[in-house]
Amino acid sequence: MDFSPDNMARYLDHRLGGKVRIDDISRFGRGTSRQTWFVDAMRDGEKHELVFRLDLDAGSFGDAPLDEEYFIYERLGHTNVPAARALWWEDDPQWATTAPFYVRSRVDGDWNIPNFTNPDPRYDDLRIRISKEWVRKIAIVHAVDWKGLGIDQRLPAPKSLADCGPNYVNMIVAHFEADRIEGDPILLESAERLRDIAPPASKICLCKGTNGFGEEIFRGEEIVALSDWEEVSIGDPANDFAYVQYLVPEIRQDGKSIWGMAQALDYYEELTGTHVPLKTIDYYRGVRMLRMLVMMARAAAAVHRYPRIAEVRQLYASTEVALHSHNVLLQSMGLKTAFDPEIFQEVHMSVEVLS
């Protein structure tokens, strides 16, 4: 897609009908797995705030296809989950010149909450309120009638509570095999182990997959849209607590834990009646490393196939992040590595955060 104002005006004239004026086009700087573009347009005095989603030019990190993401947004439009509205899918080569894309409505709000990451204890209450807000919203996701909405026609559903872990691992391996350019015996060994040790789920539900500060849209202290559904699945609710990126902070006051994963799970149980054991969350953290490896393999494939149009972050991720994932998986299998897990924290360092 050519995101120049002239082309965008022509496209929206065609798509929306009538004369469209483009007020602004910008690419969202956060979020690296796919391209996200914000487009503000006016048509007949009506403002249209649109979000365009498409794969990176050389191919995306996401191991699930873009049309699956669109499918989920469309299905979520029939639920009470706060999420942007899916508007249309575009695969006409006249407009989708590099790859298909979809368009959704933009939800007014911000991913950032001032002082949420400020370590000053004065903001502990804020952190807890936000954390509880996320638990309330993820509980809504987990209550979605995925079968009634036909989501299992697109995502593999586990056959039983015991099958949640293996089913999810199998889905990840299937994604790897679907776009494999190089085999990975460590991935197979890890997958086998993760199937073996999978704990039974407490229920089978729709899981968002990627959660955290930076993934959701807030207005004030309310989540008005849950974003980033690239890792959606049907399975164990514990999966959603395994990757929360600061949204369940461990907070201590006077040497006592006043908030953290244990309290968040208690709160979730209070809301839903579902008990999610901590050790099950550890299991899904391990599984996420497997998925990370698959995403990095996709990045490697993108760079290898199309080095001229790949992004340098794909190059980086496919080497160092993949290396970390391999090392963590080896360690979880009890194998020897000369790897210090603390170093893994470094991969999150960015010039933006440091400045």
Partner 1 sequence: MILPTIYDMLICMEQTIVNTVEPDLKSHKGLSATATIKHMLRQSALRLEHEGAFLVEDIARQRVLIRRIADYLSGAGDPIGATVAEALDAIPGAPEGYPTLSALSEIGVALRNQFHDGLKALQALRDSRADDADYAALRADIRTYAEWQIGEETKLIGPASFGQGPRR
Encoded one letter per residue, x for contact with partner 1 by CB under 8 A and - for no contact, window 289-318 reads -----------------------xx-xx--
**CB 228, min distance to partner 1, A:** 18
Residue from the set 44, 182, 273, 279 that interacts with partner 1 by CB under 8 A: 182
In the bound state with partner 1, the residue whose beta carbon lies nearer, of 64 and 293, is 293
Residue from the set 6, 18, 29, 279 that interacts with partner 1 by CB under 8 A: 29
Residue from the set 112, 160, 337, 345 that interacts with partner 1 by CB under 8 A: 337
Asked if residue 28 binds partner 1 (CB under 8 A), the reply is no
Asked if residue 271 binds partner 1 (CB under 8 A), the reply is no
Point out which span in 40-48, 60-68, 186-194, 253-261 binds partner 1 (CB under 8 A): 186-194
With a CB cutoff of 8 Å and minimum separation 6, the contacts of 202 are: 161, 236, 237, 238, 274, 275, 276, 277, 280
In the bound state with partner 1, the residue whose beta carbon lies nearer, of 202 and 327, is 327
∠ CA 240-301-66, nearest 5°, is: 50
Q: Which of residues 141-180 bind partner 1 (CB under 8 A)?
A: 180
What distance in Å separates the CA atoms of residue 158 and residue 163, rounded to the nearest whole number?
A: 5
- Residue carrying structure tokens 């794969």: 55
What distance in Å separates the CA atoms of residue 24 and residue 278, rounded to the nearest whole number?
A: 46
Asked if residue 256 binds partner 1 (CB under 8 A), the reply is no
Beta bridge partners of 9: none
Asked if residue 269 binds partner 1 (CB under 8 A), the reply is no
Q: Are 172 and 290 in contact (CB under 8 A)?
A: yes
Residue from the set 45, 114, 185, 255 that interacts with partner 1 by CB under 8 A: 185
Query: What DSSP character marks residue 181?
Result: S
From the list 269, 217, 80, 76, the residue with the least C-alpha distance to 155 is 76
With a CB cutoff of 8 Å and minimum separation 6, the contacts of 56 are: 33, 34, 35, 302, 310, 311, 314
* Residues within the interface to partner 1 (CB under 8 A): 29, 180-186, 188-189, 192, 312-313, 315-316, 319-320, 323, 326-327, 330, 333, 335-339, 343, 346-347, 349-355
